[in-house]
Amino acid sequence: MESSERPDPATIQPCQETMAAVAGNVYIETYGCQMNVADSELVAGILTASGYRLVNTPEEADVILVNTCAVRQHAENRVLGRVAQLGGLRRHRPHLRLGILGCMAQHQGRTLQQQAPGVSLVAGPDAYRQLPRLLAGSQDEFNLDVRLDRTECYTDLAPVREGRTNAWIPIIRGCDRFCTFCVVPFVRGRERSLPPGDILRQVEDLVAAGFREVTLLGQTVNAYRHGDTGFAALLRQVAAVDGILRIRFVSPYPAGFDAETIAVMASTPKICRALHLPVQSGSDTQLQRMRRGYTVDQYRHLVQQLRQALPDLTLTTDLITGFCGETEADFQQTLALMEEIRFDAAFMFKYSAREGTLAYRRLPDDVPEPVKTARLERMIEQQERMSLAINRKLIGQTVEVLVEGRSKRSDATEPRYYGRTEGGKVVVFGQPAPVNSLIRIALTDATAHTLFGEPLTG
Ligand code: SF4
């Protein structure tokens, strides 16, 4: 999957509105990519509109929904463990309903009745409109809806947003690429783009609600096309909305990244100089087996064009090691490409065979698990070293940061605050500043993942 995975579950903040009649308390826990975060916000909108109230902890809930990822077996195992744990809450709340949403729901479908015995609701990514109906069904029945819908874009529904600074806006759902390792096209269906008018209306509403940054989302976000409007034209239109300070998009697909998009990025300061451009491997043989549709040279050339037009670009990527047939020489080529491109950061994973994919059916999963693990460790070690070196070079520079709030890791006696640079790097600082303000920070320290500094006054 093209968008970066979030390792920790995110929960949606409760709606502050007082409901006239509460149908029940709902707790939503989200795993996987940003698209799942956006979908959980959508589910929160659908359920609050139906009279449910969002709560912050599973202990307060009458309904617990776990929004899931199916990209790796590990992610699915983790959800099964978590759902079993949450089922224990029934000791004190026997009426508690447990549901599984998202890609794993779509992927596993009815088999979840056996795999997750306490679960009475399973809904795939195109079935969220049906949630109030499914929840109205009997707790003793297994309520399942995993139909894929080629037209569902949820355009008319209002999400309840999690953050206050950045808002996720899905602009294209599904994927037509069918990379051989990936289950996403099977669980999220074919590509369909939202009308530009609906996207622009969302951006205007978000500005009115105080948001200053939007991230346009799609499995292959640059494949966006609706009528005559392509991705570059949409970027231009979003940037023309007054009041928006920063625009990001996740994740572009390397093979479809056109010169027009590069030109719009270079000429539009509101579009952040940050790209997450998944490469997956540095070996042409592996890229071919993955059916990625580009060669290492083509990827390299694209990065050159991007860096020529956007010299201060922050570049991140996704990498898989241990994919079918990967030799030590293939792996060395990936390490060499990482060293050559010098990504600011990378999401790195070992290959996990997924039922239903072309690789699962046709390519032997023949790299032994200990080899996969050892290669992943080497890859991570190399990336950490490079990320640290890149970040340490920034010490002494001044960066502009959009303030997001108080750092969750700081304690009450010594509060710390954080925001993000245009490149998406987290900066932690010691003095309070208003949320959503742009401040300048002199950088004093850095780790591989975080920058530290002090705000400049005046
Ligand atoms: S099929 Fe390929 S492009 Fe589509 S989501 Fe999966 S990895 Fe990304």
CA of 157 to the centre of ligand 1 (A): 26
Task: Find out whether 11 and 29 touch, Cβ atoms under 8 Å.
Answer: yes
Q: What is the 3-state secondary structure (H, E, C) of the chain?
A: CCCCEEEEEEECCCCCCCCCCCCEEEEEEEEEEHHHHHHHHHHHHHHHHCCEEECCCHHHCCEEEEEECCCCHHHHHHHHHHHHHHHHHHHCCCCCEEEEEEHHHHHHHHHHHHHCCCCCEEECCCCHHHHHHHHHCCCCCCEEECCCCCCCCCCCCCCCCCCCCEEEEECEECCCCCCCCCCHHHHHCCCEECCHHHHHHHHHHHHHCCCCEEEEECCCHHHCEECCEEHHHHHHHHHCCCCCCEEEEECCCHHHCCHHHHHHHHHCCCECCEEECCCECCCHHHHHHCCCCCCHHHHHHHHHHHHHHCCCCEEEEEEEECCCCCCHHHHHHHHHHHHHHCCCEEEEEECCCCCCCHHHHHCCCCCCHHHHHHHHHHHHHHHHHHHHHHHHCCCCCEEEEEEEEECCCCCCCCCCEEEECCCCCEEEECCCCCCCCEEEEEEEEECCCEEEEEECCC
Of 272, 287, 307, the residue that ends a domain is 272
Tell whether 366 and 349 lie within a shared domain. yes
Burial of 220: CB neighbours in 10 Å, binned 0-12, 13-18, 19+: buried
CA of 184 to the centre of ligand 1 (A): 6
Tell whether 239 and 290 lie within a shared domain. no
Q: Which of 70, 114, 115, 106 is nearest to 353 (CA)?
A: 70
Please tell me the distance from the alpha carbon of residue 450 to that of residue 409, in angstroms, as a whole number. Answer: 12
Q: Residue written as tokens 């080899």?
A: 371
Here the tokens at position 449 are 């993942």
Q: Which of 339, 348, 293, 338 is nearest to 318 (CA)?
A: 348
Residue 153 lies in a domain: no
pLDDT given at position 163: 82
Mutate which of 175, 191, 352 for ligand 1 pocket (most atoms within 8 A of beta carbon)? 175
Q: Output the domain CATH number for residue 63.
A: 3.40.50.12160
pLDDT given at position 50: 95
* pLDDT per residue as tens digits for the range 368-405: 999 999 999 999 999 999 999 999 999 999 999 999 99
Residue 170 lies in a domain: yes
Q: Output the domain CATH number for residue 417.
A: 2.40.50
Nearest CA to ligand 1 atom 3: 177
User: What angle separates helix 259-267 from helix 231-239, to the nearest 10 degrees?
Assistant: 10
Nearest CA to ligand 1 atom 2: 179
What is the average pLDDT value for the chain, to the nearest integer? Answer: 93
Residue 155 lies in a domain: no
CA of 3 to the centre of ligand 1 (A): 9
Tell whether 300 and 241 lie within a shared domain. no
Tell whether 177 and 242 lie within a shared domain. yes
Q: For the whole model, what pTM was predicted?
A: 0.93
pLDDT given at position 458: 62
* pLDDT per residue as tens digits for the range 15-41: 444 434 578 999 999 999 999 999 999
CA of 290 to the centre of ligand 1 (A): 10
Please tell me the distance from the alpha carbon of residue 111 to that of residue 119, in angstroms, as a whole number. Answer: 11
Please, what's the b/e burial string for 339-366 (b: 16 or more CB within 10 A of its CB; e: otherwise)?
eebebbbbbbbbbbbbeebebeeebebe
Nearest CA to ligand 1 atom 5: 1
Please tell me the distance from the alpha carbon of residue 179 to that of residue 287, in angstroms, as a whole number. Answer: 9
Tell whether 229 and 337 lie within a shared domain. no
Residue 156 lies in a domain: no
Give the type of residue at 132.
P
Nearest CA to ligand 1 atom 7: 1
CA of 250 to the centre of ligand 1 (A): 12
Tell whether 13 and 127 lie within a shared domain. yes
Task: Find out whether 44 and 15 touch, Cβ atoms under 8 Å.
Answer: yes
Here the tokens at position 421 are 């640079």
CA of 58 to the centre of ligand 1 (A): 33
Of 145, 171, 197, the residue that ends a domain is 145
Measured from CB, residues less than 6 Å from any atom of ligand 1 are 1-2, 175, 177-179, 182, 184-185, 219-220, 253
Residue 150 lies in a domain: no
Task: Find out whether 400 and 422 touch, Cβ atoms under 8 Å.
Answer: yes
Q: Is the peptide bond before 251 cis (omega within 30 degrees of 0)?
A: yes
Here the tokens at position 245 are 């300070």
Of 83, 118, 145, the residue that ends a domain is 145
pLDDT given at position 140: 81
Tell whether 120 and 247 lie within a shared domain. no
Tell whether 367 and 237 lie within a shared domain. no
CA of 71 to the centre of ligand 1 (A): 10
* pLDDT per residue as tens digits for the range 66-113: 999 999 999 999 999 999 999 999 999 999 999 999 999 999 999 999
Tell whether 385 and 404 lie within a shared domain. no
pLDDT given at position 138: 78
Residue 280's region, left for phi above 0, alpha for psi from -120 to 50, else beta, is left
Residue 154 lies in a domain: no
pLDDT given at position 10: 42
pLDDT given at position 21: 59
From the alpha carbon of 292, which atom of ligand 1 is closest? 2
> In the chain, which residues have pLDDT < 70?
1-21, 458
Strand partners, 243: none
Residue 152 lies in a domain: no
pLDDT given at position 13: 44
From the alpha carbon of 251, which atom of ligand 1 is closest? 8
Mutate which of 106, 178, 179 for ligand 1 pocket (most atoms within 8 A of beta carbon)? 179
CA of 293 to the centre of ligand 1 (A): 11
Tell whether 176 and 260 lie within a shared domain. yes
Tell whether 222 and 173 lie within a shared domain. yes
- Domain of residue 266, residue span: 163-272
Please tell me the distance from the alpha carbon of residue 274 to that of residue 285, in angstroms, as a whole number. Answer: 28
From the alpha carbon of 178, which atom of ligand 1 is closest? 1
Count of the separate structural domains present in the chain: 4
Tell whether 345 and 294 lie within a shared domain. yes
Total residue length of the chain: 458
Residue 151 lies in a domain: no
Task: Using DSSP bridges, classify how beta strands 63-68 and 24-33 pair: parallel, antiparallel or unpaired.
Answer: parallel
Q: Output the domain CATH number for residue 220.
A: 3.30.750.210
